[in-house]
Amino acid sequence: MGQEVSLREAYGQTLLELGMENPDIVVLDADLSRSTMTHFFAQKIPERFFECGVAEQNMISIAAGLASSGKIPFASTFAVFAPGRCFDHRPAPAQCQNRGHPRRHHGGGGRQLAPVR
């Protein structure tokens, strides 16, 4: 049986292996590469690693742009940061995917967005 490693270490090593095989794979990280283990990729393939800082919403928009240009982006952050902050830039990736004609529906999501008078 193989050596036991943490899930995040397996993720980082697998990203590196995939990146060595496929030049279209790029990795983005939100200032957590030591925790998400994307530093393995950054050390070996720095030209395809993008450190986006503490700005998950920007990272996801960048990933959408890279994907629309034929790259295969892997955007890495902690699960707690990705869901809410990434909705800040939701229209931008939609415009990229729909050539400037986004098809969206915006609902309140169960919360009051503004006082009703």
75-113 residue pLDDT tens: 888 877 776 666 665 555 545 554 443 333 333 334 443
Q: Are 29 and 36 in contact (CB under 8 A)?
A: yes
Q: Does residue 114 surpass a pLDDT of 50?
A: no
Mean of the pLDDT values across residues 7-27? 94
The pLDDT value recorded for residue 60 is 84
- pLDDT at position 115 is 44
DSSP symbol at 5: -
20-35 burial, b at 16+ Cβ within 10 Å, e below that, comes to: eeeeebbbbbbebbee
Active site residue 56: yes
pTM: 0.72
Q: Which residues pair with 27 in a beta bridge?
A: 49, 74
7-97 CATH choice from 3.40.50.970, 2.70.240.10, 3.40.50.150, 1.20.1510.10? 3.40.50.970
| Domain positions in the chain | 7-97
Confidence of residue 72 (pLDDT cuts 50, 70, 90): very high
pLDDT in tens, 18-66: 999 999 999 999 898 999 999 999 999 999 999 999 888 888 888 888 9
User: Which one of 9, 21, 51, 56 is the catalytic residue?
Assistant: 56
